[in-house]
């Protein structure tokens, strides 16, 4: 199936509704598109020990990797009522392990969309190469 940008934003928004954010009350959803056309979603999951909180982008990525996926083309992120909610630095680094040229899309359903390449958001990725 082929997805357009608004489809991915809508899927990220639906994932955001499942977020567990009792401390920050800032709910985030992500939708990760694979090269094969599958979409994996994730939401942020907070913990009373704040350092153990996991971002929506990593939840989506980890689900995809656990299912055997390794190639990704786009990631949509929707956070709170923000017009643009790009991934945090930790998520950027984890995503870059698999897809340094990933298209990152953020916005709100029916609203404006912001697009960047992951390599623009994290130009000097850490690598062991």
Provide the pLDDT for residue 3.
85
Listing DSSP states for 36-62 in one string gives TS-EEEEE-B--SSGGG-B-HHHHHHH
3-state class (DSSP) for residue 41: strand
Structural domain boundaries in the chain:
5-121
Which is the CATH superfamily of the domain at 5-121?
Cytidine Deaminase, domain 2 (3.40.140.10)
Residue 47 annotated as binding? Answer: yes
Residue 3 annotated as binding? Answer: no
- pTM listed for this prediction: 0.95
Provide the pLDDT for residue 110.
87
Provide the pLDDT for residue 75.
98
Provide the pLDDT for residue 129.
82
Q: What positions carry a catalytic annotation?
A: 57
Q: Could you tell me the mean pLDDT of each successive run of 10 residues in the chain, 129 residues long?
A: 89 98 97 98 97 97 98 96 92 97 94 95 91
């Amino acid at each position: 199936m082929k997805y357009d940008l608004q489809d991915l934003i809508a899927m990220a928004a639906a994932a955001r509704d499942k977020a567990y954010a009792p401390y920050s009350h800032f709910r985030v959803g992500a939708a990760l598109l694979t090269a094969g056309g599958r979409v994996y979603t994730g939401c942020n999951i907070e913990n009373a020990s704040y350092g153990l909180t996991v971002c929506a982008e990593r939840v989506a990525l980890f689900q995809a990797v656990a299912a055997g996926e390794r190639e990704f083309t786009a990631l949509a992120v929707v956070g709170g009522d923000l017009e643009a909610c790009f991934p945090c630095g930790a998520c950027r680094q984890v995503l870059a392990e698999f897809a340094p040229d990933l298209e990152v899309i953020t916005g709100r359903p029916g609203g404006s969309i912001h697009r960047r390449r992951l390599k623009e958001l994290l130009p000097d990725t850490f690598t062991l190469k």
